[in-house]
Amino acid sequence: MAGQGDFRHLTVLAMTDHLGLEKIDDYRWRIPRTGSMRVPGIIYSDEHLLKDIRMDQSPKQVANVAHLPGIIDYSLAMPDMHWGYGFPIGGVAATDLKTGVISPGGVGYDINCGCRLLRTDLSLGEVEPRLRELAGNLFNNIPCGVGSTGTIKLSAKEERRVLVDGAGWAVKNGYGDAEDLECTEEGGAMAGADPAAVSERAILRGRPQLGTLGSGNHFLEVDVVEELYDERAAAAFGLAGGMIAVLIHSGSRGFGYQVCDDYLREMGKAVRKYNISLPDRQLASAPLTSPEGEAYFAAMACAANYAWANRQCLMHWTRETFEKTLGASPNSLNLKLVYDVCHNIAKKETHTVHGEPREVCVHRKGATRAFPAGHRDLPDCYSSVGQPVLIPGDMGTCSYVLVGAELAMEQTFGSTCHGAGRVRSRSQSKRMTDSAQLLKDLKRKGIIVMARGKRTIAEEAPDAYKDVDRVVDVVHRAGLSKKVAKLRPLCVIKG
């Protein structure tokens, strides 16, 4: 007899079948335009991943996004896609600046959740004997966990400077170097931020949390570069086989969450005010040119800047911890930022649309920017190869460094995947995972995991995620971004 979960899956499959997915090629599937959809949907996937994708309502969400006013060409989704609020996580949509809307559901609650990769001159042999000590010191020095607070004490006035200056504020206050900003998306500060568009509740929530990792899927990971695929790009990024690297994944903490929460209420009113017809209230939007749309963009930019400052501070303390633990000088470690890229954002960018340059608003929710070589927004050091793309896996497998490709500009508004993508919810994973056994299994694989609680370990179990190798293989073979290096985790710090 079928269980309740089986009936749910059958229902979702029936909904997906109703969408009439059409295979375009080995890595693209079209959702035909029907009813009041303004554009078709495109899902990037292979046959295997499509089975997981069809088990939730994310394909239906791709079709729902296609109803947004001013949407251009397609509603897109990456191979790590899964169900989210409004947009699927892994969703991409560009809207016209004059006739289009902006939707908080197309950015998400954790505004500018993103990744920051550091490279070192250390080899595995140099770090391995001190790895457990290093992991313990990182765990003690990097504030993490639900509701964690940091050592930075901000006044309301100073916090507003963070919201405008982003990572630049952190550097100015001693948390890093000016060269870090050159290798951060947007230079670590998004234009258009206006603290006046932010609620006092958001200011209060953000004040004690700057410089904290958070919980859930956020982490700090010490890796070894296990495999290289593109020697030229790897050399440009400063990566070599056997090298120790550090990957930091965090976002805008409670500040960004509150900004999203505040504006979802405002957008609900805006939908009625501007007579916007949508199939899902979670897609609540406002015209980009409206007071509500402009206010959300200004507040979202504040949250993005908070997140860049946050990761800058986390990186600074990571550097200090390496230096003190290993008794090494900064010069001998050469612990430098490769790149910082966000994957929950809406940005105004110029793209070629129907043969003409056009400024659009690109929503990337659980999707990463992937600009190719020669793009004007790249730092000089990467202009000849393309933008580093950072794709974290789960704590039991591996993460990847890729590079942006020209085809992404033609097909996805310069976007690619952002991670492995969940196949089980956090609540399901908690019910199904023995945390103690999982830690033993990871230890046998040579991976040290340190976390504030067993709940996080269970929620983030590797089998709760898609196969990151396969996800990355899809975007690589589809030509959206190209593999550069594979990183194997040695220790993982989680909230």
How far, in Å, CA of 36 to CA of 38, rounded? 6
pLDDT at 18: 67
Phi and psi at 83, nearest 5°, equal -60, 135
**Strand spans (E) along 35-150:** 41-44, 75-82, 89-96, 101-102, 114-123
> Contact, 184 vs 322, CB < 8 A?
no
Nearest to 267 by CA among 111, 102, 110, 112: 102
The enclosing H or E element of 491 equals strand 481-494
Q: Strand 356-365's sheet: what is its strand order?
A: 22-25, 28-31, 41-44, 75-82, 89-96, 356-365, 344-353
Active site residue 375: no
In whole angstroms, give the CA distance from residue 391 to residue 413.
Answer: 18
* 297 phi and psi angles, rounded to 5 deg: -60, -40
**In a 3-state reduction of DSSP, which class is residue 379?**
coil
Burial group, residue 128, by CB count within 10 angstroms (0-12, 13-18, 19+): middle
HSE (side-chain half, CA atoms, 13 Å) at 327? 3
Residue in 46, 42, 43, 55 with CA at minimum distance from that of residue 15: 55
Domain of residue 421, CATH code: 3.90.1860.10
Q: What's the total number of domains in the chain?
A: 1
Per-residue confidence of the chain (495 residues) as pLDDT tens digits? Answer: 334 343 344 344 445 566 889 999 999 999 999 999 999 999 999 999 999 999 999 999 999 999 999 999 999 999 999 999 999 999 999 999 999 999 999 999 999 999 999 999 999 999 999 999 999 999 999 988 777 777 898 999 999 999 999 999 999 999 999 999 999 999 999 999 999 999 999 999 999 999 999 988 899 999 999 999 999 999 999 999 999 999 999 999 999 999 999 999 999 999 999 999 999 999 999 999 999 999 999 999 999 999 999 999 999 999 999 999 999 998 999 999 999 999 999 999 999 999 999 999 999 999 999 999 999 999 999 999 999 999 999 888 999 999 999 999 999 999 999 999 998 888 888 888 888 898 888 989 999 999 887 788 888 888 889 999 999 999 999 999 999 999 999 999 997
Question: What element of type H or E holds 265?
Answer: helix 253-273
The catalytic position among 82, 343, 351, 418 is 418
Domain containing 219: what range? Answer: 4-494
Q: In the 8-state DSSP scheme, what is residue 183?
A: T
